[in-house]
């Protein structure tokens, strides 16, 4: 079972939901923090026995003795990572998307595999649970391979809870595309609603059922609930707007340790999510 926590934009409380849900899981789970550009689940969870593995991607290495400057690799590269200038073939590894096209098309076998380190994948444990997260190197722009590396490290013997990168672009899609259910976290503002609609469209396009959690919910502000009713999407939980929650967040504490009522609410949320994810698995299998 694979459940994603996502949001149409950053700052809605996605990681807050992910860490509190992980810490109140009724069975051993693995939390995958796929927000590799700005991972912060580990700041709240404080995993033990941490291991770090560098993660790299393919980049072409040119053998200038073999290269005849035929131009086939330059022509196939959609990212302009290979350019012939005068009598030299220049490679720009930071623009390479590791499609391997150049290596396969080269008639002289002048291109061999090199490696560019994108960042690190880290793993550790907290109680009966596991936490895996990625840390992208400063200046690196290509996050999907590192997100995939985080997912490859996931154990197969337990449910996976995945903290997705914010937004609805390639990193978010790379993270959630094979999930059984996605929880969309939003806030009751016009920006929140706008970006929620994009996230809902993305989940629907990927044919993943979704539910909504309203963070910083305010009495009398029902714009998210109205939209959810119109689109027939369940509102799974409302987390009220409270100063004490913001203070505990700023101290790196989990909300479930601040408010026993929220601990109960998160336990109840698991029951709903498990049911919805299992329904989706059954639908996929039939
Ligand atoms: S395809 Fe091979 S031989 Fe042709 S320019 Fe590229 S590296 Fe050189
Ligand atoms: S692997 Fe693909 S993206 Fe990278 S240089 Fe070769 S053709 Fe371009």
Please report the pLDDT score of residue 284 as a whole number.
Answer: 77
Please report the pLDDT score of residue 130 as a whole number.
Answer: 97
Same domain, 96 and 39: no
The DSSP H or E segment spanning 202 is helix 190-205
Please report the pLDDT score of residue 122 as a whole number.
Answer: 97
More confident residue, 50 or 10: 50
- Ligand approaching nearest to the C-alpha of 82: 2
pLDDT in tens, 177-219: 889 999 999 999 999 999 999 999 999 999 999 999 999 999 8
Closest CA relative to residue 15, chosen from 4, 26, 25: 4
123, 131 Cβ separation under 8 angstroms = yes
Whose Cα sits closest to atom 8 in ligand 1? 67
Same domain, 22 and 133: yes
Res. 108 pLDDT band, cuts 50 70 90: very high
Q: How far is the CA of 54 from the centre of ligand 1 (A)?
A: 30
CATH of the domain at 15: 3.40.50.300
Residue 115 lies in a domain: no
Q: 134 in helix, strand or coil?
A: strand
The Cα 38–Cα 231 span in angstroms is 31
Best residue among 57, 89, 100 to mutate for probing ligand 2, ranked by most atoms within 8 Å of CB: 100
Same domain, 99 and 213: no
Best residue among 74, 78, 96 to mutate for probing ligand 2, ranked by most atoms within 8 Å of CB: 96
Residue 144 lies in a domain: yes
Q: Is the CB of 81 under 6 A from ligand 1?
A: no
Residue 230 lies in a domain: yes
Same domain, 239 and 149: yes
DSSP secondary structure, 144-195, as one string: HHHHHHHHHT--SSS-EEEEPPSSSSHHHHHHHTT-SEEEEEE-SSHHHHHH
pLDDT in tens, 7-49: 877 788 889 999 999 999 999 999 999 989 889 999 999 899 9
Res. 152 pLDDT band, cuts 50 70 90: very high
Same domain, 86 and 147: no
**Closest-lying ligand 2 atom to the alpha carbon of residue 91:** 5
Same domain, 141 and 180: yes
Same domain, 22 and 158: yes
Residue 58 lies in a domain: no
The Cα 106–Cα 97 span in angstroms is 17
Looking at residues 168-185, what average pLDDT do you find?
87
The percentage of residues in the chain with a pLDDT greater than 90, rounded to a whole number, is 73
Q: Please count the residues of the chain.
A: 286
More confident residue, 193 or 142: 193
pLDDT in tens, 235-284: 999 999 989 888 988 898 999 998 888 889 999 999 999 998 888 878 87
- Domain, as residue range, for 99: 64-109
Residue 154 lies in a domain: yes
Whose Cα sits closest to atom 2 in ligand 1? 106
Residue 114 lies in a domain: no
Same domain, 18 and 103: no
Whose Cα sits closest to atom 3 in ligand 1? 67
Same domain, 204 and 127: yes
Same domain, 268 and 146: yes
Same domain, 153 and 14: yes
Is pLDDT of 1 > 80?
A: yes
Q: Is the CB of 76 under 6 A from ligand 1?
A: no
Asked which of 44, 76, 109 is the last residue of a domain, the reply is 109
- Ligand approaching nearest to the C-alpha of 73: 1
The Cα 111–Cα 75 span in angstroms is 15
CATH of the domain at 92: 3.30.70.20
Please report the pLDDT score of residue 203 as a whole number.
Answer: 93
Q: How far is the CA of 87 from the centre of ligand 1 (A)?
A: 12
Interhelix angle for 223-231 vs 190-205, to 10°? 20
Best residue among 61, 72, 105 to mutate for probing ligand 1, ranked by most atoms within 8 Å of CB: 72
Count of domains observed in the chain: 2
Same domain, 184 and 84: no
The percentage of residues in the chain with a pLDDT greater than 70, rounded to a whole number, is 100
Looking at residues 69-89, what average pLDDT do you find?
96
Residue 128 lies in a domain: yes
Please report the pLDDT score of residue 46 as a whole number.
Answer: 86
Residue 59 lies in a domain: no
Structure tokens at 63: 């053998």
């Amino acid at each position: 079972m694979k459940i994603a926590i996502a949001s149409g934009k950053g700052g809605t409380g996605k990681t807050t939901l992910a860490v509190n849900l992980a810490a109140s899981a009724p069975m051993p789970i693995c939390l995958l923090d796929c927000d590799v550009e700005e991972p912060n689940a580990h700041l709240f969870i404080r995993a033990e026995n941490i291991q770090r593995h560098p993660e790299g991607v393919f980049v072409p290495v040119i053998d200038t003795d073999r290269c005849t400057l035929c131009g086939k690799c330059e022509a196939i590269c959609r990212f302009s990572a290979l350019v012939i200038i005068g009598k030299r073939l220049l490679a720009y590894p930071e623009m390479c998307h590791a499609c391997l096209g150049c290596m396969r098309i080269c008639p002289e076998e002048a291109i061999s595999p090199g490696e560019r380190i994108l960042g690190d994948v880290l793993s550790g444990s907290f109680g009966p649970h596991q936490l895996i997260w990625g840390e992208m190197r400063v200046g690196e722009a290509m996050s999907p391979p590192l997100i995939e590396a985080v997912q490859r490290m996931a154990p197969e013997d337990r449910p996976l809870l995945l903290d997705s990168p914010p937004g609805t672009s390639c990193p978010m899609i790379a993270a959630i595309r094979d999930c059984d259910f996605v929880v969309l976290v939003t806030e009751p503002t016009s920006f929140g609603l706008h970006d929620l609609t994009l996230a809902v469209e993305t989940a629907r396009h990927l044919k993943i059922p979704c539910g909504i959690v309203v963070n910083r919910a305010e009495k009398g502000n029902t714009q998210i609930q109205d939209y959810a009713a119109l689109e027939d999407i369940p509102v799974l939980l409302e987390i009220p707007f409270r100063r004490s929650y913001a203070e505990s967040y700023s101290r790196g504490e989990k909300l479930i340790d601040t408010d026993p009522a929220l601990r109960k609410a998160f336990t109840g949320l698991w029951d709903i999510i498990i049911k919805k994810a299992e329904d989706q698995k059954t639908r996929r299998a039939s």
